[in-house]
Amino acid sequence: MNFIGLLILAALAALAYAAFNFFKVKKLEEGTEQMAKIAAAIRVGANTFIEYEYKVLVWVVLIVAVIVWLALDWYVAVALLLGSCMSASAGFIGMKIATYANVRVTNEARKTENIGQTLKVAFRGGSVMGLCVGGFALLGLGIVFCVFGLGLGWLDSLETAKCWLTKIEIIKFPNILSGYALGCSMVAMFNRVGGGIYTKAADMGADLVGKTEAHIPEDDPRNPATIADNVGDNVGDVAGLGSDLLESYVASIVAAIALAYNLIVKVGVPSDSLNALYTFPLAFAACGLLACIIGVASLLVKNLSKSKKVHQQLNAATWIGAGITLVAGVLLSYCLFNGKGLDFAALGFKAGWASPFIGGAVGVVAGILIGIVAEYYTSSDYNPTKRLAEASREGSALTITSGLALGMNSCMIPCIILGLGIILAYYLAGLYGVAMSAMGMLSFVSLTVSVDTYGPISDNAGGIAEMSKLPEGVREITDTLDAVGNTTAAIGKGFAIGSGGLAALSLMLSYMYSIPGEKLTGGVPQLNIMEPMTLAGAIVGGAIPFLFSGMLIDAVAKAARKMVEEVRRQFKEKPGILAGTEDPDYKTCIGISTKGSIGQMKVPALMAVVIPVVCGLLFGANFVGGILIGSTICAIMIALFTGNSGGAWDNGKKYIEQGGLEGIKKGGEGYDAVHDAAVVGDTVGDPLKDTVGPCMDIFIKIMSTVSLVAVSVFAHYNLWAVIFN
């Protein structure tokens, strides 16, 4: 099986290059003694959080694995454990390199005073996370295919087998893949929720007291919450982001392969298509990862000492990787589907052998367009954010109101793009094309994660520069890198939301195919939304993302309240802190964020796992199908709204700080009132853009994955059927 060799080769190459970049960054100097001391404190805080979180996560994963073993079989549970290990490894290594790279970026800016050279250090650090996402995801899939697919001979088997305890009949290999995806999903949910609560509790606590009450700069060493704030960038925006997009990547591949099996078993597509249908997404992902390695290297081998166009350099690396991936997609589609005598009509391939590639290309284009829309609504280069900054002249109430309106308005265009993409992919390449559009959007995920991770590393570097009291020129370099990072993060969130929606749709299609006795019209499974059980599920499902969001915001508020109280206490009891004659107590604030985030994350993180299973066991498969429809639609809207509102509030504040508003200059008349209003808006937006928004896409994917894994059980065993049938 050449494709498995390609898969493992790509994974090992990515992990080897990640290791090279890891140690390359670590060999660089940390700078002054004060810089090293601050970096060490951030590193210890990040390690404490991740170790504490993973201790909780291990027990949750083991309990779920035992339940899966009893309900399905041992091999699905083993795959779940493997997926958990792969996702946890990527998140841990990415967090570690971020805590090493931050101070080295600061030192590079201090030594060279060159933005191009500093960019390379930040991007090299970010590339470790990006390459680990693709490398660990495909390595785990390669192990699954080698052990269960080839070793046990289950890859091409379409026969059903009875589960050990429940005696339900399932096709083994697609369920193993679903178990692997579920393991990745669980780690991603905990990392996203826990990291999101941590980072925003610290950020809000630091801003509310430090900026608006004490009127000291961001990352000022006198602020007791500033170390916790910088720790949050690593555990939330690095470890959480990496685990999230690794899960999206795996989910899109698994959804495409599961759909391939369903097309053959349920629709009657000739079985000679199976090999090509499951090979294409795997080979496409492998080629995409190799293309990402080339894209990363293309930036790192350049001499950037004379370059000041940071965004242009990052975009160039991304386009190189994306371009090579698309070329590889065309060649793969031709090699696997041309001249093989496959029944294109049964597959829904209107464009013949090119149909799978077209589905993937639609996803790439849709992702780019959604990212552009996100940039338009959140970047201070464009009118929406500029108008939002202007609203701060009138106080915090209008700042918040204008930001809410901006976020609501920003939902329409991305949804139109997603809708058109789904229609185009379906009518040109059938349901398989829809699955491939999600795969296409994530085919060069290692590059998008590398660019995204570079942002929080640069943000941390700026914080270290401020706390170490380095020359203003150092902070100017790190702030420039950070500003570009905010834009790339907004684009990355657009990709994450779009890919999350498409991956959830693909998983939902596989779920509907898996319902016993489902109705097919033209080979497409039908779920009647007007049936009372399905409609009730859709209504309940629409409310679930709002409940989840409310719990997350409440969790952030509770942890932030304790942080605010602690910062105020230290300022009151130790007046020497603000005078600069006494050091603040950073450790207490780190402890508040760590305990608060771990304590508050458990219920929201488990909701996505528990709700589909409990509802399915009570009301059956159609009710859960309705839940998936309602929750997916609402979650996409909430993710777009919160991400764009929060991003615009953040960049609007920075626009004011940079002197963008006419007549409002730092230190001048009226500046403090306008800036305070913008800070309040940014504080409102913090839990929206960095906790709620990023958690929405993982929330809908894990609900879909859990439903797909469990549907075989609750379709046969549910309380409603027992009582009324």
Distance CA 578, CA 588 (A): 18
Least confidently predicted of 4-13, 30-39, 581-590: 581-590
Rounded average pLDDT over 415-439: 88
What rounded mean pLDDT belongs to the chain? 84
According to the model, what pLDDT value does residue 614 have?
92
Confidence grade of residue 14 (pLDDT, cut at 50, 70, 90): very high
Strand 160-162 relative to strand 169-171: parallel, antiparallel, unpaired?
Answer: antiparallel
Amino acid sitting at position 425: A
Rounded average pLDDT over 679-692: 85
Least confidently predicted of 205-214, 394-403, 411-420: 205-214
According to the model, what pLDDT value does residue 429 have?
86
pLDDT in tens, 245-279: 888 889 888 888 888 888 887 777 777 778 888 88
Distance CA 18, CA 12 (A): 10
Residues above pLDDT 90, as percent of the chain: 20
Answer yes or no: is pLDDT of 521 > 60: no
How far CA 235 is from CA of 27, 46, 661, in Å, comes to 23, 6, 34
Phi (first) and psi of residue 580, to 5 degrees: 85, 10
Confidence grade of residue 487 (pLDDT, cut at 50, 70, 90): low
Confidence grade of residue 718 (pLDDT, cut at 50, 70, 90): confident
Distance CA 313, CA 302 (A): 10
Are the CB atoms for 464 and 221 separated by under 8 Å? no
By CB atoms closer than 10 A (0-12, 13-18, 19+), residue 284 is buried
Answer yes or no: is pLDDT of 516 > 70: no
Confidence grade of residue 20 (pLDDT, cut at 50, 70, 90): very high
Give strand pairing partners of 520.
525
Distance CA 509, CA 259 (A): 7
DSSP 8-class letter at 225: T
Distance CA 498, CA 480 (A): 28
Distance CA 640, CA 548 (A): 15
According to the model, what pLDDT value does residue 416 have?
92
Answer yes or no: is pLDDT of 311 > 80: no
Are the CB atoms for 194 and 605 separated by under 8 Å? yes
Are the CB atoms for 515 and 537 separated by under 8 Å? no
Confidence grade of residue 518 (pLDDT, cut at 50, 70, 90): low
According to the model, what pLDDT value does residue 638 have?
92
DSSP 441-501: HTTTHHHHHHHHHHHHHHHHHHHHHHHTT--HHHHHHHHHHHHHHHHHHHHHHHHHHHHHH
According to the model, what pLDDT value does residue 725 have?
65
According to the model, what pLDDT value does residue 193 have?
82
Rounded average pLDDT over 625-630: 91
Rounded average pLDDT over 47-74: 88
Whether this prediction's pTM lies above 0.85 is answered by: yes
The more confidently predicted of residues 483 and 400 is 400
Distance CA 652, CA 396 (A): 12
Q: Where are the domains of the chain?
A: 2-724
Least confidently predicted of 126-130, 262-266, 632-636: 262-266
Q: Categorise residue 223: left if φ over 0, alpha if ψ from -120 to 50, beta otherwise.
A: beta
Q: Categorise residue 718: left if φ over 0, alpha if ψ from -120 to 50, beta otherwise.
A: beta
Amino acid sitting at position 371: G
In 3D space, the residue among 60, 34, 76 whose CA is nearest the CA of residue 172 turns out to be 76
Are the CB atoms for 680 and 399 separated by under 8 Å? yes
Q: Is 161 helix (H, G, I), strand (E, B) or coil?
A: strand
According to the model, what pLDDT value does residue 265 have?
78
What token pair was written down for 649? 């509030």
Distance CA 680, CA 390 (A): 14
Confidence grade of residue 366 (pLDDT, cut at 50, 70, 90): confident
Residues above pLDDT 70, as percent of the chain: 96
pLDDT in tens, 566-600: 888 888 888 887 777 787 888 888 888 777 777 77
According to the model, what pLDDT value does residue 491 have?
67
Q: Where are the alpha helices (DSSP H) in 27-167?
A: 33-71, 74-112, 115-144
CA 298 to chain centre: 25
CA 565 to chain centre: 31
Are the CB atoms for 490 and 643 separated by under 8 Å? yes
Confidence grade of residue 134 (pLDDT, cut at 50, 70, 90): very high
